[in-house]
Amino acid sequence: MPKIWHVVLYRAKPGHEEALAEAMAAAGRRLVAEVPGFLAFRSGRDFGGRSGGYTNCIVAEFADRESLDQRVTHEAHRILRATTQPHYETSIAFDFEEPGGP
């Protein structure tokens, strides 16, 4: 069965990198616990300096495309946006399907 991945890069406001990382980690735990089909969540800060100015990232795994789409209306996702938006200037998202198989 294919895996669905949701990747978001964030450009934190100056001095907000750690606050953004903490808000993402807390929200990620809640999303996995509460959103059906939300299988895994990872987040972190860039240390390599090759990110084009993006400072933080999340990677989320979903059971299927429907689960990815439904997360947007879930209260836990609304909380994620409310707690992270004050800490970043811009973001870019990328969704892809990883083929399944043995």
Domain residue ranges in the chain: 3-98
**Alpha-carbon distance 67 to 58, whole Å?**
17
Structure-block tokens of residue 16: 């907000």
* pLDDT at site 14: 96
User: What percent of the chain lies above the pLDDT cut of 70?
Assistant: 97
**Alpha-carbon distances of 56 from 16, 24, 82, 86, 98, rounded to whole Å:** 10, 9, 17, 14, 23
Second CATH level (architecture) for the domain 3-98: 2-Layer Sandwich (3.30)
**Taking the mean position of all CA atoms in its chain, how far away is CA 52?**
18
| Range 22-37 average pLDDT | 93
Query: Mind listing the pLDDT tens digit for each residue in 65-102?
Result: 999 999 989 999 999 999 999 999 999 999 999 987 54
2 — pLDDT class (breaks 50, 70, 90): confident
- Sequence-distant (6+) residues with CB within 8 A of 92 are 8, 9, 54
